Amino acid sequence: MTASSERLALAERMFRRIVVGLLLTVFLPTIAEAQQATKVHRIGFLSITSLSSPGSSVEAFRQGLRELGYLEGRSIVIEYRYAEGNAERLPKLASELIGLKVDVLVAAAGAPGALAAKQVTKTVPIVIASAADPVALGLVSTLAQPGGNVTGLSLLGPDTAGKRLQILKEIVPSLSSVAVLWNPANPGNTLILEEIRAAARALGVKVQSLEAHGPEDFETAFKAARGTGGIMPLGDPGQVLHRAPIIGFAKRYRLPAMYPFGQFVEDGGLMYYGASLDDLYRRTAIYVDKILKGRKPADLPVEQPKKFEFLINLKTAKQIGLTIPPNVLARADRVIR
């Protein structure tokens, strides 16, 4: 081989190496990104409520994920587990989700699911969709620095329970005592009851505690509440699942009621003031997104509600012979007529 032929062959080899190097530089990141984009994340969704009536909040969570670019069946799979109102089933259901190797577990519908999830795992990230007071419940160390594998959203902002009682007294100026329907087995209920008692002392209102472990206790509780000026169910999952009889008893005994969730008002209850659950669940998707992208729950502060809503069912007010003051009616975000 002549010198010129060798130089030509060497030049060709160098040219090929340069071309291959350029191609690898251009296409390898694209291939890696494509592989990353096609990774399917698995999300666990644990709720004490019922599969048959999940409510609009679950769809708000799914919508939040879609807005962030996640598509069910393509980039994410959501594994749902519902306890159908039975808190004792929650640890087993949480264990099932952990066994499916979920990347993050969403604890929906209050404190019971979050507590069960934390009991089952100390490593899988847990996002609370709504819990009364994550610090007092022992779910996180502080709101600013959760410190473990749990973060998410608090259901109650400062003085929410007190504000509910204040509104009830505005529409019933003669209110001197209020009945509180609650489940002592629900730790979140215990915290809210204490807030109501503190607010009641400031307003000069007596609190009548009515325990209800299940729907079989509702009628007895409402009969005992007839001597009060109003009633406040506290939102135990059993109350949410069996809200129809609660709404019915309140109407039968003509008791003005401030309900724990907007669903009650949609179904014929008198009124609701509090956090927008749909907004909380949509924001839950943001936490899931951050964790899937590598953030640790310990570094994500627990947030409180940003959006509150006040709902009044004017038809129900008329049915129980109650006149809503115009200044209160004007503050409602939505009035059902």
Q: What pLDDT sits at residue 35?
A: 45
pLDDT of 19 > 70? The answer is no
pLDDT of 2 > 80? The answer is no
Q: What pLDDT sits at residue 27?
A: 52
pLDDT of 311 > 80? The answer is yes
Pairing state between β 76-82 and 258-259: unpaired
pLDDT digits (tens, 9 = 90+) for 36-47: 456 899 999 999
**Average pLDDT across the chain, whole number:** 88
- The rounded distance, in Å, linking the Cα atoms of 109 and 106 is 10
pLDDT band at 119, cuts 50/70/90?
very high
pLDDT of 1 > 70? The answer is no
Higher pLDDT pick, 250 / 13? 250
DSSP assignment, residue 72? B
φ/ψ region of 86 (left if φ > 0, alpha if ψ in -120 to 50, else beta) reads beta
pLDDT digits (tens, 9 = 90+) for 206-226: 999 999 988 999 999 999 999
SS3 227: helix
Q: Name 20's Cβ contacts closer than 8 Å, sequence gap at least 6.
A: none
Q: What pLDDT sits at residue 14?
A: 62
pLDDT digits (tens, 9 = 90+) for 181-199: 999 988 888 888 999 999 9
pLDDT of 331 > 60? The answer is yes
Q: How many CA atoms lie within 13 A of 191 on its CB side?
A: 22
Pairing state between β 258-259 and 104-107: unpaired
How many residues belong to the chain?
337
